[in-house]
Amino acid sequence: MSGNGSGQDPWGRRPQNDPTDLAALFKRIFKKYASNSGGSSGSANINKRIVLLVGVVILVIWALSGIFLVSPQEEAVILRFGKYVKTVGEGPHWIPRGIETHKTTNVTQQNTFNYQAEMLTKDENIVSVAIAVQYRIDNPADYLFNVTNPNLTIQQAASSALRQIVGGMNLDAVITTGRQTLSDDVKKQLIETLNIYSPGLFVADITLQQAVPPKQVTHAFDDAIKAREDEVTYENQAQAYARKVESEAQGTISRMQQEADAYKQQVVLQADGAIARYLALLSPYQKAPFVTSERLYLDAMTSVLNKTSNVFVDNNGGNGTSVFYLPLDQMFKQRSAQTTSSIDQSMEASATPPTHSAVNNTTSTFSHPKYPFMNQGGHS
C-alpha cells in the first residue's frame, strides 16, 4: 500500500525512523499558530519565535554548564579571563562559563618526599644524612601562581636547609645526641625559606631517617654509642641503689626513733614510780623518822644480801680459837658464773638502753651502830 505523499503511512502516522531535526520540530509547532494568523506576517513571526526559543534553550544549557561541586577535601580557585578572583570551599558553586573558570586542588592530602645526600659538618667531617619531608597544599592560589613548580621548590629548599643546619653541627652531635635538634632546626629553617617564596605549601613534619659517619670510622662511633648506653645503664643502676639505701636508712631511723621513744617513756614511767614511792614514804617519815629509816635500811640490806654469798662470823665467842671452814670451790664457781653473767649483761647494755640500775654483787661489808651483830663480810 502506497503512502499519501506527505511522509505518512496509510493510517496517517509518521515513520518511526524519520530523522527530524529540532528546527523542523519547532517549525511545525509554530506553523500551527501561524495558520490561525495567516499572511506573510505570520511567517516572519514564526522565524522570530524559533530563534527566541533556540536562544532560551542555549541560555539554559550555558547556565547549567557553570555549576560545579567542590568536595570537602578540596578548594577551588576561580579565574576570570585567566586572572585570579577568589578561592571557594566545599559545596555547589556557579560561574559564568566562558568568562570564568575554576581549578580544584586537594588541601588535605599529605605528600612526602625523601632526600639523602653526603655533606660536611662543622668539624669538617663527612656524614650521610637522609630525611623525609611531609607537606600539603595550604594556599591553592599561591600554589598555582606564585612559583612554577612548587614541589621542586620545596625539595630544593629542604636540601638547602639541611646543608645549612648540618654545616653548623659537629659530627658527634649529628649522629648521636643532636638528632632531634637537627630535625627541628631543619623544619624551622625550611619554613622560613618557604615564607619568602610563598609556594602555598605547609610543612607538617620532617623525620631524620639516617645519619651515619663514613665507613672508615663506623666502628669507633659504634663504640662511642655503646659507651653512652652503658653510662645511662650504670647511672640508672646507681640511682636505684641510692633509692634502696635511702629507703633502708629511713626504716632504720624510724625504728631507732621508736625505740628511743619507748625508752624515754619507760624512763619517765620509772621516774614517776620512784616519785610516787617517795611521796608515799614522805608522810610516814614525817610522823616517825627513826622507825621509817630503820625499816628502809633493813629492806635495802635484805634486797642486797639476797644477791650475794655471805658468811656470818661471831667474833664474841670462842676466844679466837674457832676454826672456819670456807667452801672455796663452791664460792669460786659461783663467782665465775656471776662474772660471766655480768659480762653478758654489759654486752646487752651496750646494745640496748639499760632498764634498771646495776648492783655490784662482789664483796660488801656492812656495819650498823645499833646492831653490831650485823657486822659481816660478804665474800663471793
Task: Report pLDDT digits (tens) over 117-142.
Answer: 989 889 888 888 999 999 999 999 98
pLDDT at 89 (0 to 100)? 87
Average pLDDT of the residues of the chain: 77
Which residue's entry shows cell 650521610?
Answer: 128
Neighbours of 225 (CB within 10 A): 13
Distance CA 133, CA 180 (A): 14
Cα-based torsion angle of the residue sequence 93, 95, 97, 103 in order, rounded to the nearest 10 degrees: -70
Neighbours of 150 (CB within 10 A): 20
Distance CA 116, CA 203 (A): 18
pLDDT at 112 (0 to 100)? 92
The average pLDDT across 180-203 equals: 91
pLDDT at 307 (0 to 100)? 73
3.20.20.70, 1.10.260.40, 3.50.50.60, 3.30.479.30: CATH of 111-213? 3.30.479.30
What is the largest distance, in Å, between two alpha-carbon atoms of the chain?
196
Q: Is the pLDDT of residue 247 over 50?
A: yes
Band (pLDDT 50/70/90 cuts) for residue 204 is very high
Among 85, 60, 89, 59, CA closest to 73: 89
Q: Is the pLDDT of residue 308 over 60?
A: yes
Among 373, 361, 269, 250, CA closest to 306: 361
Measured distance between the N- and C-terminal CA atoms of the chain, rounded to whole angstroms = 169
Distance CA 107, CA 90 (A): 11
Check: CB of residue 68 under 8 Å from CB of residue 102. Answer: yes
The average pLDDT across 101-124 equals: 89
3-class secondary-structure state, position 97: strand
Distance CA 107, CA 76 (A): 10
The average pLDDT across 298-322 equals: 69
Comparison of pLDDT for 74 and 327, the residue scoring more: 74
Q: Is the pLDDT of residue 11 over 50?
A: no
Band (pLDDT 50/70/90 cuts) for residue 1 is very low
Neighbour-count burial for 340-356, b at 16+ CB within 10 Å, e otherwise: eeeeeeeeeeeeeeeee
Neighbours of 253 (CB within 10 A): 10
The average pLDDT across 283-290 equals: 87
Q: Is the pLDDT of residue 214 over 90?
A: no
pTM of the model: 0.47
Kind and range of the H or E element at 107?
none
144 secondary structure, DSSP code? H
